[in-house]
Structure 1
């Protein structure tokens, strides 16, 4: 049924729940999984460019540290289930764009993701990445609540 399942992660508990569901589904179908974490660009304002240069470096370093942890958690879940695993880490991409790009490039036939990661004001300001993926995905999307 499915051969390659994409598992985007933002490190949230709900995201880990979606990874577990995707890995279980992959095991049942004999599929492989690809865990993805996208690090969005630092939002800068033109007149603050000089100040933001040092902030951007620190941001990238810390974001990469967290991303490695999130992808390692996904790898451990897949390994424990005996499911073939790949990982993708993309810098400078909006998450929904990275998800759709990876699904296309890696020929995924399903995306399993959390209903939302951010809460409150952050979600209001940034929008729902899941909603954007649902609207534009080239493949079916299974949303985990």
Structure 2
């Protein structure tokens, strides 16, 4: 049923667990995987600690490095599991749209991603990328949440 799985990751510990679960699932069903990261552009006004202490150039370089390391580590996991995979990254202000767009572009039949489980006011203020993907995607989404 599932042959082409998109696994978005930001490199966070929970996203890494979702990557691991997605790779295991892909192996079990014989699917290929696309590992995908969306880098948010530098914002002059931000609550993101990494952006507050950096110049645009520093932030962009650190962002590219972090994303490359995250995707390389996930790709190694796929190779060790014998799961065919590709990697890709983009820069976008709208992470959820980039994820859905990539899934559509590659013809994914499933998106596997983490949810940090923010609820209430936190979800209203910060917004949940996972919730937005669930709401707007026509492609099935499997949400991984830590127990």
TM-score, L = length of structure 2? 0.84
1:112 to 2:109 alignment? no
What does the per-residue CA deviation read over 1:54-113, in whole Å, with 9 as the maximum and x for residues that have no partner?
A: 822221111000001110121011111000010011013422111001000010000000
Q: Which residue of 2 aligns with 1:19?
A: 19
The offset of 1:126, in angstroms, is 3.2
CA distance in 2, matches of 1:78, 1:142: 18
Alignment of 1:46-57 (within 5 A): 55-57=55-57
Unaligned runs of 5+ in 2: 46-51
Match of 1:89 in 2: 89
Q: Do residues 62 (structure 1) and 101 (structure 2) align?
A: no
> Cα RMSD between the aligned structures?
2.3
Structure 1 position 127, deviation (Å): 1.5
* C-alpha deviation, 1:124, in angstroms: 6.2
- Structure 1 residue 43: Cα displacement: 2.1
Task: Specify which structure has the higher proportion of helix.
Answer: 1
Look up the match of 1:39: 39
Q: Which runs of 4+ in 1 moved over 4 A?
A: 121-125
Q: Which runs of 5+ in 1 are unaligned?
A: 46-51
**Segment of structure 1 superposing worse, 69-78 or 122-131:** 122-131
Please tell me whether the aligned partners of residues 4 and 107 of structure 2 are also in contact (alpha carbons under 8 angstroms): yes
Tell me the distance in 1 between the aligned counterparts of 2:107 and 2:131: 21
Partner of 2:49: none
Provide TM-score, normalisation by structure 1. 0.85
